[in-house]
Structure 1
Amino acid sequence: MIIVEIINAREVVRQRIGRLGERLIGKVVDAEAQVEKALIQELDNAFKEFGIEARIFSVDGLQMVGKSHLELPIQVREERQVSSKQD
């Protein structure tokens, strides 16, 4: 499995859309999502060329912690406590 963390997404988008678009970064444009979308397209093309079958995921929230840990925060939508005792 390969994990790629893009660490300069804002700069890449800034170079692509110029100074006017720079003001939109973070308001209208999700820089990380845009760069990931472009990267996924390039990977898709390269994989097809080499006959590689793969599943490519773009996920939000993962963070690398040093070189040995991947932090996976979760958002709890609902919590329920179930008890086997009868009231």
Structure 2
Amino acid sequence: MSALISLIIKFAIIRTIIALGFGILTYGGVTYALNRGIAEIKTGYNSLPSDILNFMAIAGVPEYFGIVLGAVSYVTFIRFMKSIVFIGS
């Protein structure tokens, strides 16, 4: 019985380490890609002529980008947390 419990604990520890490794690696990669995407959007947005920038500001484009990128960041964080606590796939 003791050997079975020892085996189960070893399996749980190994599974935890693997899940944390994949989760951290995936979260880091997605966060890096998201930050690069934000930087590219900012660069492209700021290179537009001032008339177009004013029109886009009136239309609410900067707020739209903030909402969408915030949602992507939130989903990334939630998926990372699910991988840590073994919820989901």
Q: What is the TM-score of this pair, normalised by structure 2?
A: 0.33
TM-score normalized by structure 1? 0.34
Looking at both structures, which has the greater relative contact order when contacts are Cα pairs under 8 Å and sequence separation is at least 6?
Answer: 2
Structure whose CA Rg is larger: 2
Greater strand share, structure number: 1
